[in-house]
Amino acid sequence: MRFIELHKELERYGHFLVLKYREKLKKDRTVASGRLSDSFTYELRESDIQSKLSILALQYIGSISEGINNKRTPPSKEYNGKESDLLSWIRTKGIKPRKGGDSESNMKRMAFAIARSIGKHGVIARFGYKGTSIIDYVYKDISGILGQDLLAAYNRDVTRILEEM
């Protein structure tokens, strides 16, 4: 059995959700380098018995959406020879240490201090250090119409399959 209409609808919603997440990041003013926004994509997997739509993004979308729980300090050091996301964010935003200039060691010390503060308080003060809830917000915004559209597409597929039989 091939669910053609359902596949089309899931494909359409994959594009739509990616756009909605990017728009919400801009609206919330949580775009720094654009890497997170650019990372949004979707993946559609199908088999004879199921279809699965996944929205994918860089891992730190969870920290932006939900905040940082359990007093967890984000990484501020290099890993695998790659600059930490926090240090990259600091450079993109043009944040400089107040004292001692912007040498590499001062930038790393500042990144550690910011990471420690995030671990203690959370992220994004204007959201009460709780996160933006972008994941829940976008889903709740479209969940009603999404369910109706997917059910209608599934209904069209089942009707077509029954007619073919």
Q: Model pTM greater than 0.75?
A: yes
| Phi then psi dihedrals of residue 54, to 5 deg | -120, 135
10 Å CB burial of residue 15 (0-12, 13-18, 19+) is exposed
Nearest Cα to 122, choosing from 64, 60, 76?
64
Burial class (CB in 10 A: 0-12, 13-18, 19+), 98: exposed
Q: What is the pLDDT of residues 17-53, one digit of tens each?
A: 999 999 999 999 988 888 899 999 999 998 877 889 9
Alpha helices, DSSP H only, in 67-133?
85-93, 104-121
Percent of the chain exceeding pLDDT 90 equals: 41
Q: Where in the chain are the domains?
A: 1-67+125-165, 71-122
